[in-house]
Amino acid sequence: MSATKTGYFSHPSCRRHEMGRGHPECPERLDAIEDRLLATGVIDALDRRQAREASDEEIALAHDPMHVAAVRGLREEIAEQVAAGGYAYAHIDPDTAMCPHSWDAAVHAVGAVLDATDAVMAGEVENAFCAVRPPGHHATRGRAMGFCIFNSVATGVRYAIDRHGLKRVAVVDFDVHHGNGTEDILAGDERVLMVGLFQHPFYPGSGDPPLAANMVNLPVPAYTKGPAIRAMIEAEWLPRLEAFRPEMVFISAGFDAHREDDLGQLGLVEADYVWITDRVKDIAHRHAQGRIVSSLEGGYNLDALGRSVEAHVRSLAGL
Ligand SMILES: [Zn+2]
C-alpha cells in the first residue's frame, strides 16, 4: 500500500481542559497518543497542523444558539471566580464539567474538525485525524453531556454540507457508547447517513431503535469480540454506505470498545480498528476521493488508547 497524505490536527488548549482529579477523560489521554505516535515514528509521516477556533456561528450549524450562549455563560462565570482568586469548575452533569480552559478546548476541538474538513476538501491532505478533547458525540443540539460540550463531528458534517456544498456525507461511529448527540442533530437529515455500533444496553441508553431511517445503529451485547463485530459491520454498515455513495466520511473515533478499556465491556483490539478503518477507506476511495476526517471521542485505558490510535492512523496514512 502506498502512503497517503494524512493530516494531524490538534491544539495545546485541548491538553488544558480537565474535569477534576481522577476523571477518566483526562489530559493524559492526549499525551498517551502523542507519545505513542512519536515513539513509533508514525508522527513523522503526518502533516501536523495547529487547529483554529470555531466561531459561535459555525458551532450553531449543529447546535441551538442558546446552547452555545449557555456554555459561553458558564465560561464567564468561571472567569469571574478565577478573577476573584479561586479556581472554579462548573458542573454540567455528574460526569461533565468545565474548568477555566474548557471553552478554549471545546472551540478548538470543533475548529480542528472544520480545519481538517477544509484541508481535505482543498486536497492538501487526503484524510485527517483530530487529536482533540473534549469529545463531542454525546452533545445534543441543545445540551452538553457525557464528557462532551460541543459536537465536533456533527458540526463538521453540517459545515461540509453548508460551506463546501456536499450533498451526501457519512458518519461512522465506533465508540463503545451510542453517539446520541450526533443522532439527535442529524436524524432525518437525508443528506447524511450515520452508521454506529455501541454496547447495549449501556450509557446513554439510546440508539435502539434508531430515531430515523438515516441512522444505522448496531446495538452490541457486552463481551462481544472483534470477529462478531466485523460480521455485523459487513452485513449492516457496508451495504448501506456503498448504496449511499458518500462524498466525504467523518469518523467518531472512540477507542473505549477496546478489550482493555474498563469503561466498556466490548472486545475490540488494534487489528479490529485497522480492519474497520480499512473498510471505511475502501468506501471513501470508491465514492469520496478518499476524503475522511476522523476525530477522537472516547478511549480511557491510556496504553490501549495510544496503540489503538496508532493502528487507526497507520491505516489512514497507508503505513
Ligand atoms: Zn465512549
Residue with grid cell 503526518, as numbered in its chain: 46
pLDDT of residue 1: 47
Provide φ and ψ at 79, rounded to 5°: -60, -40
Instruction: State how far the Cα of 309 lies from the Cα of 256, in Å rounded to an integer.
Output: 11
SS3 at position 136 = coil
Which one of 108, 138, 200, 312 is the catalytic residue?
A: 138
According to the model, what pLDDT value does residue 88 have? 86
In angstroms, the CA 26 to CA 168 distance is: 34
Distance 297 CA to ligand 1 centre (A): 6
The pTM (predicted TM-score) of the whole model is: 0.98
Mean pLDDT by 10 residues, the chain (319 residues): 84 98 97 98 98 98 98 96 91 95 98 98 98 98 98 99 98 98 98 98 98 98 98 98 98 98 98 98 98 98 98 97
Distance in Å, CA 220 to ligand 1 centroid: 14
Handedness of CA 260, 263, 264, 269 (dihedral sign): negative
Is residue 6 within 8 Å of 128, Cβ to Cβ?
Answer: yes
pLDDT of residue 2: 57
Please, what's the b/e burial string for 60-69 (b: 16 or more CB within 10 A of its CB; e: otherwise)? bbbbeeebbe
